[in-house]
Structure 1
């Protein structure tokens, strides 16, 4: 099965000139979703995770069912102010400004092996911030993965520079 057959391209979203890769069509197709989770489980299992960290919010859709499939824990990396209790924040630069990502202070024990997941890797800014946050709290980030990769953007290279291996199910070159 070609996973790309179940990912819809939406032109000019969220703004003109952008082609948005919509995974909702993949999620809605039971067989394709099962195949995608099976393939991702096979790829992510190599990294021997204790915990999967999903990046808000579509990363939750990938990481939570995958954690169940792999028999490991799941934690959320969220925008500032969205998690209850004590949190640890990491600020990071965007093209035009800054943003923040947080994790609950007690979500990961020091030394736990973590794989970071999102639906899509583009420039790698948010994924890199997630890795830096997890390292800040003592996690060993053993890998990163997504359903879609925009290979013409520098995301994979940025993760490589951090020493984090990356895998995706569908790569687009333009």
Structure 2
């Protein structure tokens, strides 16, 4: 049974759990784990991302997934599209020569990296993660792609927390989100 776009979005939303005061008081954590447990919900996420990409981009060379939850959705989408998948990891997790970018967190700094030969100059890439909050990690991934001279077509997330204005930080890159809170 084909649910259609709205039905798929409803199915995905039904599989998002909210946990108040996690990881600290005042935070409402949006948990995507139930999506992963449901083959139908996971298929709906992949279908919705695929539909967006096919409708908005003529050429995509690579899907770039962020550590760690971008690794859950990115390879499925890349396989559907018949393109490669590249990991953006926390510093120190990849073998070989890497390219690194530091970025600010509310409590300090962090670094992400890719393998130096993972993305070639001029390749057209989409960056994927589970959640957009303040945009720090997605911004760092965009900066990594800039260092590699790749063309960032846009960013995609399952959930966007609109009040945190992360999409503003990513401009001029657009953000496609399945759900907004």
Unaligned ranges ≥5, structure 1: none
> Corresponding residue for 2:4?
none
Which of 107, 118, 127 is the matching residue for 2:129? 118
Aligned residues: 170
Unaligned ranges ≥5, structure 2: 1-6
Instruction: State whether structure 2 residue 30 is matched by structure 1 residue 21.
Output: yes
Contact residue 118 and residue 146 of structure 1 kept, 8 A: yes
> Corresponding residue for 2:110?
99
**Superimposed CA distance per residue, residues 42-81 of structure 1 (whole angstroms, 9 cap, x where no aligned partner):** 1133233210000000111011111001111100000110
> Corresponding residue for 1:8?
17
The SS at the match of 2:86 is strand
> Corresponding residue for 2:46?
37
**Superimposed CA distance per residue, residues 104-141 of structure 1 (whole angstroms, 9 cap, x where no aligned partner):** 00001110001011000011011001001111111110
Give the alignment's TM-score, normalised by structure 1: 0.94
Q: CA RMSD in A?
A: 1.0
4+ residue stretches of structure 1 with deviation over 3 A?
none
In 2, Cα distance between the equivalents of 1:149 and 1:13? 17
In 1, Cα distance between the equivalents of 2:100 and 2:167? 24
In 1, Cα distance between the equivalents of 2:83 and 2:137? 23
> Corresponding residue for 1:167?
176
In 2, Cα distance between the equivalents of 1:111 and 1:152? 34
Instruction: State whether structure 2 residue 86 is matched by structure 1 residue 75.
Output: yes
Residues 34-73 of structure 1 mapped to structure 2, 5 A cutoff: 34-45=43-54, 46-47=56-57, 48-73=59-84
Question: How far did residue 32 of structure 1 move?
Answer: 1.4
Give the alignment's TM-score, normalised by structure 2: 0.91
The SS at the match of 1:99 is strand
Which of 146, 149, 163 is the matching residue for 2:157? 146
